[in-house]
Structure 1
Amino acid sequence: MASPSGEDAGFILHILTIGFHHKHGSQLEFCFPALAPGQRPDSGYLPDEWKNLPGLALPDGAHNYEEDNVYFVLPSLIKKERSVFCVSCYRQIDSSQLVAKTDDVTRSSVQKAVVVVSKVPIFGAIRERLSQAAQSYFEMRDFSRIDVLQETFSDLRRSFSKGSVMGQMYMGLSVKDLLLRYRQKLLVLFKLLMLERRVMFFMNPASDLTNTLVTLVSMFPNILEDGLDRCASIINSKYNVKNLAGTDFVSVEKDADSDASVDDCSDLLGQQQQQSQGGQGQRQQQPGQGEQAAGAEDAQADEANAMAGAAGGAGAKLQEALSGASSLFSSVKTNFLAKVGPQAGGPGAGEMPTDDLQSPFITDDYGFPLPLFAESALFLPYTALQQIDILDDPNVRACLIGANNSVFKDNRQKVDALIGSDQGDFTLQERALAKQLKLTGADEVFMQLLINKIIPSGNDGAAHDSEGSDDWLRSQFRMYLLSALLAAKSGESEDWQDFNASFIRALQKTYHFKVWSAHDHRGLASMENPQHPCHGQSAIGMKFNQLLTGTEQGRKVTNAVQSTGRVIEDTGKAFGGAIFNARSAMSGFFTGLQSKAASRFSGGEAVPGAEEAGQAGGEADAVDLK
């Protein structure tokens, strides 16, 4: 039932306290305003829709931390298909410090959470203010002081007015930190969410878990502002897998060769896709460490041959290589996308009437936000153990959930991907999905350029939209998203290879793409050429450029070219690691390159730039000139 104030009275709906009882577990102790007419704030009443709130507010493992916070989502009590957004700041103190100790306090420590429920996902902004209020509440050592909570509620409601909320949506959500943590795999995660699969993140503490998920979602345009209204609703949707009949509306592709899961697919995900005019993909790896090692050696040999060819042609292409990386972003202009009209018979169209493909959200001129979390596609940044049935619910079409109870991890076979706290903890359950998410050479260049922009800066005082900032990074992923959507809508072409053709085909089957592509979007009218932001760029060429600019001998070569204004001539070819007929600077450079490559394979020093450009690919990205 509605609270006395109603959901239209302001963005902040309720403030609550949750306490841990030694017999009953986590339970509601106070709620203001009350959740139903006639209920007292301290009645402990919870409607069925919010029965999991206590377990969400005091997450598993809360007793291991003196203080922490967690974000979670609940269905609205007013509009059942809508969602509300919650921030919990929990603390524990020694019970002997309490001024007013009640009879139910029987343990040496007291655990409580102060929770704020909001109509909009301003998680970081609420957490910052609520954390201070919760600290003051605990420092009083008297939990009967509900007047403090009521004052906090009033202050929060005044703080988040209609005019100020939009400017606080992204507070505390650092894409830069996420990129430094997951590096190349961040693009894998971004593409994974585009494919509408079942994804679970597992990590501790709860604050890191939930902040990671909200930050990841914030990389999609307008999602926080307008695209999460339905992210907690489970409905019997005609777009669910069980209702698809013969229509392959959602990507549920399975590997026909083997039913075995593919754990820790980092090697497969990160290996550079072979670049060829025919658009042929790499050989798929088979389970087993020995065969994975053989695949890595094959990839190393292929890249070594390509690098040797690059080295042999350095005399003719050096100048281009030296300037390529620095000028790449400046050459990608806002008109890089194509104006693509609706194609009734084109790829990804025609399975359902256009009238059935209306976005549930208010969209901008580019069709954003995408309905990634609608029609029983859930976004739950924290999931309590009581909600584990979600993994078996046939009405859950897709999900992005966070968990930190080991029981969830034991059920990993029920999700498509299990993600940990860094790029090394990455598990996929299907070989077909790993193939779809495999990064191409253009993808690797795109990510490496982003990494290069943020690592040297460290300038927190820079403008919010400057290169390397969070806003700038989000704009780059927005550019990537638009180009992928338009490439999928325009029909199959060679440009698909830049994104991975298997990924584009899977994207065409998703609900959000079908909704997006079923309509014209005015913002695309003046855009041209729906290509990858790094179309035509080679990961090998980028590594070669890094070797030229990232080593002492390479810098000598660079300086020589810059001083003479011409490409170095008489550069020989590399066979078996030997460099013939080169000038002294080039000879020293390639000799150093050879020794570093050899050291790489013997477990010594890594080739400069190989780690950054190939984190997702493991040893397959090492450079060998032998």
Structure 2
Amino acid sequence: MHQKYSSEAKISFFFNHSQVEYSHPKLNGTGEAGLPDEWHLLPSLALPDGVHNCQKDTIFFLLPSKEEPGKCVFGISCYRQIDSKELLNKSDDVTRASVQKAVCVLSRIPLFGPLKAKLEVITQAYFEQKDFSKVDVLAQMYTNLCDIFDENLTGEYFSNLAHHEISIQELFVRFRHRALLLFKLFLLERKVLFIAPTGLRLGETMLAIVSMFPKLLEEGLYYATIGVNTNDKTKAVNKEKKSSDIVIEEDVGVQMTRDDPLKEKDSCGFPLSLFTQGCSFDPYLSIQSMDYISKTQSCVVGATNALFAVKKDLFDVIVKIEDDGSLVHNHIEFVNDSALERVLALTSADLRFADFVLKKVEEQMKASTSEFDGSDEWIRLQMKNYLLGLVATSRSDLQAAVPHFGVAFVNEWRRTKNHKIWVANKHEDLASVPPGHMFSEQMGVYDVYLRFEHAVNGVEGASKVIGTVNTAGKNLGTSIGETGSRVKAKFTNWWNRKNPAAQEGIEQAEEPQSE
């Protein structure tokens, strides 16, 4: 942040769900307390739904820019609750047993992690004063942030700063092999809901997935919010009505590239145009924003309000993150497209790759070392190589390589906007990337175990299932004379029905010999 663009780099202090109590610099819009029309949802975003149910939370969100139409600004809000009896200076409007307030920072540049770290410290200090009339600490924070962060940050330093405190390691630990499934899901431009009990858990998960795409977190979210993309979609529809009914397929990517607001790409074509032209990304939405979802072409949104999950007709996939205090349970539900689960089923090569990454992460976290292998930066490099191999395979249409990524997945991805824009351009270093999956090899016994582990979401569960199958096979073979091979055949048939990925091209490789 810098003083020269202070009009959209604000610290705002909110009271309850509808009122801006204090802002620095002062808001100068036409709404209540100077709130600009573009930011009418700001109070509902800064204080989370169900605010009375938690003592503190941190929310990441996006808002339309009021100075640069079509772009957005990035918000971080720290909410706290305090017993009104503890206040040293109680204003007349404090009539309840507890007081809920939030301190919010709006920035032109996406520095979610660094701003969160600073904001949480300041918010704690502000509440410890127990006198909300003392706002000097908020004004001082604004000055300090302007001195520390400049809007003209670029290069590797900006990239490292943007990824600070966004943990991909935690994502893999929580979702295990399904972290790769979520990565591939983002590529397909569907309507996806993430729902979690807290905004912080929600934002950390969604931003971690985004950060696995090269340059997307720091450069690819400037046109991502629903408030911007609903307008983009309207323009796109109007433009389509004026155009000819005959569209040449080869020209679609060129046309999309011309309309793509992300003009600056590197030599490989990054960042991808995942969240532009009607495709939105909002790490938090309040219930007041639900109507916007039906107006988007595709969206990835987060919510803490359970009412979002009830509206299943609005989404293709719902990712539920449940926290019971000691364990985090994750569930991915495909709601409106039964074929999508098959499309996204991880192949054996995918599972080997995800398992390779997961094992490196677990090794590093267990050893508590600072080695590069297994670090967040290392994971980002692996995901970049995976993505490059994927697009090279898609472009070449190499029949031997496509099944390793999933034939149905590659075909579905080719229909998306981001794929058409990527392959329509000539990127210098992309042309030299060879097609193929990094973990393509003949299927073996290890792949069977990986398939078990993936299906039951964990090593312990996989061991239990395998043990049960072995025991059942022996008992059946003894009691009714059914041979082990017939038990295996029956179980395999059941397994293939439950796990459609087992039928993918890669799974048609030669089976390992029986012992």
TM-score grouping bracket, smaller chain normalisation: 0.7 to 0.9
Aligned counterpart, 1:365: 267
Identity %: 32
Q: Residue 177 of structure 2 contacts residue 351 of structure 2 at CA under 8 Å; is this kept in 1? A: yes
The Cα offsets for residues 263-303 of structure 1, whole Å up to 9 and x where unpaired, read as xxxxxxxxxxxxxxxxxxxxxxxxxxxxxxxxxxxxxxxxx
Aligned counterpart, 1:450: 357
Q: Residue 166 of structure 2 contacts residue 207 of structure 2 at CA under 8 Å; is this kept in 1? A: yes
Task: Report whether the alignment pairs 1:230 with 2:223.
Answer: yes
Aligned counterpart, 2:374: 468
Q: Residue 257 of structure 2 contacts residue 421 of structure 2 at CA under 8 Å; is this kept in 1? A: yes
Structure 2 counterpart of 1:455, one-letter code: E
SS of corresponding position for 1:400: strand
Query: Shift of the alpha carbon at 1:448?
Result: 1.2
The Cα offsets for residues 41-67 of structure 1, whole Å up to 9 and x where unpaired, read as xx7221221111111111012222222
* C-alpha separation in 1, matches of 2:42 and 2:474: 54
Aligned residues: 453
Indicate which of 9, 12, 30 corresponds to 1:13: 9
* C-alpha separation in 2, matches of 1:127 and 1:44: 25
Identify if the C-alpha distance between structure 1 residues 427 and 244 changes in structure 2 by more than 3 Å, giving closer, same or farther: farther
* C-alpha separation in 2, matches of 1:356 and 1:620: 32
Indicate which of 382, 385, 396 corresponds to 1:490: 396
What is the aligned-residue RMSD (CA, Å)? 3.4
Q: Residue 29 of structure 2 contacts residue 37 of structure 2 at CA under 8 Å; is this kept in 1? A: no
Calculate the TM-score normalised by the size of structure 1: 0.67
Which piece of structure 1 moves more, 87-96 or 419-428? Answer: 419-428
Task: Report whether the alignment pairs 1:36 with 2:25.
Answer: no
Which piece of structure 1 moves more, 402-411 or 429-438? Answer: 429-438
Task: Report whether the alignment pairs 1:399 with 2:308.
Answer: no
SS of corresponding position for 1:457: helix
Q: Residue 293 of structure 2 contacts residue 299 of structure 2 at CA under 8 Å; is this kept in 1? A: no
Aligned counterpart, 2:177: 184
Aligned counterpart, 1:147: 136
Aligned counterpart, 2:120: 131
SS of corresponding position for 2:210: helix
SS of corresponding position for 1:103: coil
Aligned counterpart, 1:261: none
Task: Report whether the alignment pairs 1:531 with 2:436.
Answer: yes
Indicate which of 343, 348, 351 corresponds to 1:441: 348
Query: Shift of the alpha carbon at 1:156?
Result: 1.0
Identify if the C-alpha distance between structure 1 residues 99 and 597 changes in structure 2 by more than 3 Å, giving closer, same or farther: same
Q: Residue 252 of structure 2 contacts residue 420 of structure 2 at CA under 8 Å; is this kept in 1? A: no
Instruction: Structure 2: state its 5+ residue gaps.
Output: 322-327, 453-464, 476-494, 503-511
Structure 1 counterpart of 2:94, one-letter code: V
Q: Residue 364 of structure 2 contacts residue 370 of structure 2 at CA under 8 Å; is this kept in 1? A: no
* Structural mapping, 1:195-274, within 5 Å: 195-232=188-225, 233=228, 234-237=230-233
Indicate which of 75, 92, 101 corresponds to 2:90: 101
* C-alpha separation in 2, matches of 1:92 and 1:166: 34
Structure 2 counterpart of 1:206, one-letter code: G
Calculate the TM-score normalised by the size of structure 2: 0.80
Aligned counterpart, 2:412: 506
Structure 1 counterpart of 2:25, one-letter code: P
Q: Residue 58 of structure 2 contacts residue 78 of structure 2 at CA under 8 Å; is this kept in 1? A: yes
* C-alpha separation in 1, matches of 2:418 and 2:359: 32
Q: Which has the higher helix share?
A: 2
The Cα offsets for residues 410-444 of structure 1, whole Å up to 9 and x where unpaired, read as 10221110001267511112122112111111111
Q: Residue 57 of structure 2 contacts residue 80 of structure 2 at CA under 8 Å; is this kept in 1? A: yes
* C-alpha separation in 1, matches of 2:474 and 2:320: 29
Q: Residue 203 of structure 1 contacts residue 404 of structure 1 at CA under 8 Å; is this kept in 2? A: yes
Aligned counterpart, 2:470: 598
The Cα offsets for residues 382-426 of structure 1, whole Å up to 9 and x where unpaired, read as 000100102222xx1111100111211110221110001267511
* C-alpha separation in 1, matches of 2:94 and 2:450: 65
* C-alpha separation in 2, matches of 1:595 and 1:216: 34
* C-alpha separation in 2, matches of 1:386 and 1:535: 47
Task: Report whether the alignment pairs 1:57 with 2:46.
Answer: yes
* C-alpha separation in 1, matches of 2:388 and 2:130: 53
* C-alpha separation in 2, matches of 1:405 and 1:193: 22
Q: Residue 15 of structure 1 contacts residue 33 of structure 1 at CA under 8 Å; is this kept in 2? A: yes
Task: Report whether the alignment pairs 1:352 with 2:252.
Answer: yes
Query: Shift of the alpha carbon at 1:9?
Result: 2.7
* C-alpha separation in 1, matches of 2:54 and 2:221: 30
Q: Residue 269 of structure 2 contacts residue 430 of structure 2 at CA under 8 Å; is this kept in 1? A: no
* C-alpha separation in 2, matches of 1:370 and 1:204: 30
Task: Name the larger-Rg structure.
Answer: 1
Structure 1 counterpart of 2:250, one-letter code: G
Identify if the C-alpha distance between structure 1 residues 503 and 406 changes in structure 2 by more than 3 Å, giving closer, same or farther: same
Q: Residue 6 of structure 2 contacts residue 25 of structure 2 at CA under 8 Å; is this kept in 1? A: no
Query: Shift of the alpha carbon at 1:485?
Result: 1.4
Q: Residue 441 of structure 1 contacts residue 539 of structure 1 at CA under 8 Å; is this kept in 2? A: no
Structure 1 counterpart of 2:27, one-letter code: L
SS of corresponding position for 2:62: strand
